Amino acid sequence: MKALGILPARYASTRFPGKPLVEIGGKSMIQRVYEQAQKSTLDGVVVATDDARIFDHVMAFGGTAVMTSPDHQSGTDRCYEALQQVQEPFEVVVNIQGDEPFIQPEQIDKVLACFAQPEAQLATLIKVVQSQEELFNPNSPKVVVGEQGQALYFSRQPIPYLRGVEEQQWLDQHTYFKHIGIYGYRSTVLAEITQLPPSSLEKAESLEQLRWLQNGYRIVTAITEIETIGIDTPADLEKALSYLQNKS
C-alpha cells in the first residue's frame, strides 16, 4: 500500500497571512511539517500550494511541491489536484495540515494503520477530551464513534448530551472525543468525495467531514494521546515558540 503525504499550504490566510513561511526556531513552519512527515512511513511527501513564494521556499530546502489552483474551498480539494500532478500511483493519501509544525510521525502512521481494515474508506485521529474548556469550545469539534471505531457524527457542540446530568459533571460520566484534523483517504475515494456538493449537515456545522458521512462514506478513527499545536493566529505562534523553548 503506497501512501503519499500531502501538505496543503495557502499563503492568503485571513487570520494569519503568510503563515506557512513564518519562522519557528530557525525553520519555516512548512519545513517543520514537511520534515516531521518524512519521519513517518509515508512513501512520499509533497506540498500543495497556490503561491510561488511557498513553492520556491519548499524547493529551496530540498522538498517537493506542486502548484495548485487558488480557488479551492478545502484542503481536500487541493490534495486531489496535487495527487493528479504526481507521476507515480499511490493507493492512500494523507492530508497533513501545513500549520501543524509539531505533528508526530507516529500520528501519521496511526492514520495509515487504519487502512489495514478493508472497509476503511477514510481515516482520521481523535483524542480524549480533558477539560471543560475543550468540551464546550466550538472551535474544537467533537466526534461520536461506534463500537468498531467508526465516526458516527462530528459536531461543534458536546455530543452526546447527558440528560439529567449537570454539565460540570459530563466529563466524569462519559468519555468525550475531540477531532484531530488529519485525514487519510483511499485515492479512489478522494476522487469521489471531491465531486460531492456541500451537504446540509456540513453547511449547518461548517465541518467538511459531515459531507462524507452524510453521503454514506465510512471514516475510521484512531485514538492519539498526543496533543497537536495548530497555528491559526499570531497568538498561536507565541504558544508554539514557548513549546519549542520548553522542549529544548
**Using one digit for the tens of pLDDT, what is the confidence trace for 14-41?**
777 888 999 988 999 999 999 999 999 9
With beta carbons less than 8 A apart as the criterion, state whether 47 and 30 touch.
Answer: yes
pLDDT at 231: 79
Backbone angles phi, psi at 24, to 5 degrees: -130, 105
Q: Residue 164: left (phi > 0), alpha (psi -120 to 50), or beta? A: left
CB 87 within 8 A of CB 55: no
- 183: three-class secondary structure by DSSP: strand
117 CB-contact burial (10 Å; exposed 0-12 / middle 13-18 / buried 19+): middle
Per-residue pLDDT of 71-117, as tens digits, reads: 998 999 999 999 999 988 999 999 999 888 889 999 999 999 999 99
Mean pLDDT of the region 165-171:
97
CA distance 115 to 109: 10
Does the pLDDT at position 198 exceed 70? yes
Residue 169: per-residue pLDDT: 98
The whole-number pLDDT of residue 248 equals 63
Residue 240 has pLDDT above 80, yes or no: no
Burial of 35 per CB tally in 10 Å (0-12, 13-18, 19+): middle
* Alpha-carbon dihedral angle through residues 153, 156, 159, 164, given to the nearest 10 degrees: -160
Please give the grid coordinates belonging to residue 135: 468540551
